[in-house]
């Protein structure tokens, strides 16, 4: 069991998400940075979909009531274990009675704590992922709070491991994010599309698990295209009437009525999960075949 001493800014139980529920109005949810979450799980010898704690900007402090291995991957968060600073991207042995304490976060927005045991949490619609808007999954559909306790199902002891430096993520605050065309891309002129990829956008204070608003030079419309609401997936780049992009995120609504200029490729969605206020983005248009090749390369890296 682990006991929550402090919950941090927004620490939630997540897995790889909820599939097949969009017709019920429930989005995918799940970890914002799949690459970091899967890496952490593999370091402690668990399945990719094993539940993890997603820590946003300010992490939690936890007391351990069982021996286990943990691994922390993702943003540059500093934690101490029994007042000793621990490294990310490697498995760490934690003994019963020890306390893991958050200290600071420098770069990136989200870190993931994986455990060599499975959280004893009842799935909702096939997933334990916390969907804050719907109030389902995780611990009563909310972020962790002081006094919460999470029970675990035991597993076999594992050997410790780490990740070579060359394969660990780097969060610099300046990102190039690749995207493919969307069903509404033909609503944009060649000049609008060219200006979109030349523009450098900044993340505003309006960013969360539902969506990320960007600021920069707006896309101008002589007349805003009208459309019926259509299905919306994480990574959709919507352009509302004010011309400033909104990126749909993991807890986004399942339908949207704004035209989409593009769809962020699967391999770059982990970058979206690490964005924070004032980070700079430049978009790059690529083909669907290139996107599939990049995704395969990332899978091989894992």
Q: What is the pLDDT of residues 134-183, one digit of tens each?
A: 899 999 999 999 999 999 997 665 666 777 655 556 778 899 999 999 99
Which strand ranges, in their side-by-side order, compose the sheet holding 61-64? 84-85, 77-81, 99-105, 61-64, 2-6, 149-150
CA gap 170, 102 in Å, rounded: 20
Nearest C-alpha neighbor of 235 from the set 24, 55, 28: 28
Q: Where in the chain is the domain with CATH 2.40.100.10?
A: 174-301
Predicted structure pTM score? 0.92
Question: Taking 80 as the threshold, does the pLDDT of residue 275 lie above it?
Answer: yes
- 226 pLDDT tier (thresholds 50, 70, 90): confident
Counting residues of the chain whose pLDDT is more than 90, the rounded percentage is 82
Helix (H, G, I), strand (E, B) or coil at 87: coil
Under CATH, to which class is 174-301 assigned? Answer: mainly beta
C-alpha distances (whole Å) from 101 to each of 63, 82, 84, 104, 285 are: 9, 8, 10, 10, 41
**What was the pLDDT predicted at 167?**
58
The stretch 206-231 carries a mean pLDDT of: 92
């Amino acid at each position: 069991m682990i006991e929550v001493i402090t919950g941090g800014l927004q620490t939630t139980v997540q897995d790889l998400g909820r599939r097949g529920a969009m017709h019920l109005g429930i989005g995918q949810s799940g970890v914002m940075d799949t690459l970091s979450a899967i890496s952490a799980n593999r370091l402690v010898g668990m399945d990719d979909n094993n539940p993890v704690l997603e820590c946003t900007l300010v992490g939690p402090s936890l007391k351990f009531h069982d021996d286990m291995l943990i691994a922390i991957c993702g943003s540059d968060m500093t934690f101490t274990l029994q007042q000793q600073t621990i490294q990310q991207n490697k498995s760490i042995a934690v003994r019963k009675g020890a306390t893991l304490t958050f200290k600071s976060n420098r770069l990136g927005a989200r870190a993931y704590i994986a455990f060599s045991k499975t959280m004893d949490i009842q799935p909702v619609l096939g997933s334990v992922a916390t969907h804050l808007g719907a109030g389902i999954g995780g611990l009563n559909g909310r972020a962790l709070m002081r006094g919460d306790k999470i029970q675990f199902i035991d597993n076999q002891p594992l050997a410790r491991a780490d990740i070579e430096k060359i394969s660990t993520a780097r969060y610099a605050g300046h990102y190039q994010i690749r995207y493919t065309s969307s069903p509404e891309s033909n609503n944009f002129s060649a000049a609008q599309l060219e200006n979109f990829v030349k523009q450098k956008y900044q993340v505003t204070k309006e960013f969360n698990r539902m969506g990320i608003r960007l600021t920069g030079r707006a896309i101008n419309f002589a007349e805003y295209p009208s459309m019926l609401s259509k299905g919306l997936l994480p990574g959709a780049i919507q352009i509302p009437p004010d011309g400033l992009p909104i990126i749909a995120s993991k807890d986004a609504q399942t339908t949207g009525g704004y035209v989409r200029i593009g769809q962020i490729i699967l391999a770059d969605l982990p970058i979206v999960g690490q964005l924070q206020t004032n980070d700079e983005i430049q978009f790059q248009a690529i083909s669907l075949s290139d996107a599939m090749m990049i995704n395969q390369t990332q899978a091989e890296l894992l």
